[in-house]
Structure 1
Amino acid sequence: MARTVQITFDAADPRALAAFWCEALGYVAQPPPDGFDDWEAAMASWGMSPDRFNAFAAIVDPDGVGPRIFVQQVPEGKTAKNRMHIDVGVDGQGDERVRNVRSHTQHLVSLGATVLQEMDEDGEFWIVLQDPEGNEFCVQ
């Protein structure tokens, strides 16, 4: 039996959060359905009013390997620590990997992420961050 995995985030601003995760993961915005030039045209054809055009966004792995990420608008903000989180891996070994972790972290900080702490335990190095809406994740 074939299985697919989708990861869903709740957000105040789905398009902005989806754009952040595109940068974090090397993903791209999911193309609109066939026959539509953009998502707004598709949503309008479904009867959605323009004030709902930011109700959701989806991003996909351009290589078709990783799971789809769906970001849906919710009225409430984040109030507690995530029970699960995404680990963003970088290439390299040893000191090179540490440099790559720090470099990618700085790029994500420039896009609105916040560093919570650096960890170096049992020969592993990673940095714990929050995305622009406060969801915890690690760059490792």
Structure 2
Amino acid sequence: MEQTVSRQEASEAVQNHGWRYLLGALQMSVTVRTLAQAISLAADAVAVCGDDADRHLRVDVRPDRAVFTLQSLDRATVTTRDIELARRISATADKSGFLPEPGIGTGAPRSVQLLEIAIDALNIARIRPFWKAVLGYTDETGAGGPEDRLVDPVGQGPAIWFQQMDRARPQRNRIHIDISVPHDEAPRRIETALAAGGRLVSATRAPAFWVLADMEGNEACITTWQGRDS
């Protein structure tokens, strides 16, 4: 029976198979040499997922890589079925001679990541319809409440979520980017951002997220799945 799993369970179950857990989804990037290889690998993944492919699997194919994402789309989270499918896809990729891309610190430009845009608001329910309309976005599966996040229905753009403000803060930017990275890659990402001229604004919610800012005060958060389970 398909069951929802905790963040830690999901991360530990797939990490040794080349996958990483990123806030509600599993991702794996595989290096290829041609677009034809990427498409062939994607076709193999669809085949081993069988009837579950349409409900769980998304694939981004490029001439140099194929990025696989697994998530139970009707629950918008990771389940035991996603973990099983991840292991199947890893096995078929390995059988074909393809290996997942290594993480930061091994020479790779970067590992997998997910982007979200956060908008601060005094009245979320009032502004949410505007952003839904102007972006052509839709409600996340199983959501649709006045404070729930919005997603791109074709999966191309980052999710939008809304952060409740308790008072107006005109001196502070009201939109920031969240970069969700594998939990063990966050320190390196923060280190490189600080070396590039950034500053650490807050680490009080680490390891769930660190707030960084550029030299003009524009903020971005490095986030991980850790520190979110009660």
TM-score, reference length from structure 1: 0.40
Q: Which of these two proteins has the greater Rg computed from alpha carbons?
A: 2
In terms of fraction of residues, the more strand-rich structure is 1
- Greater RCO structure (CA 8 Å; 6+ sep): 1
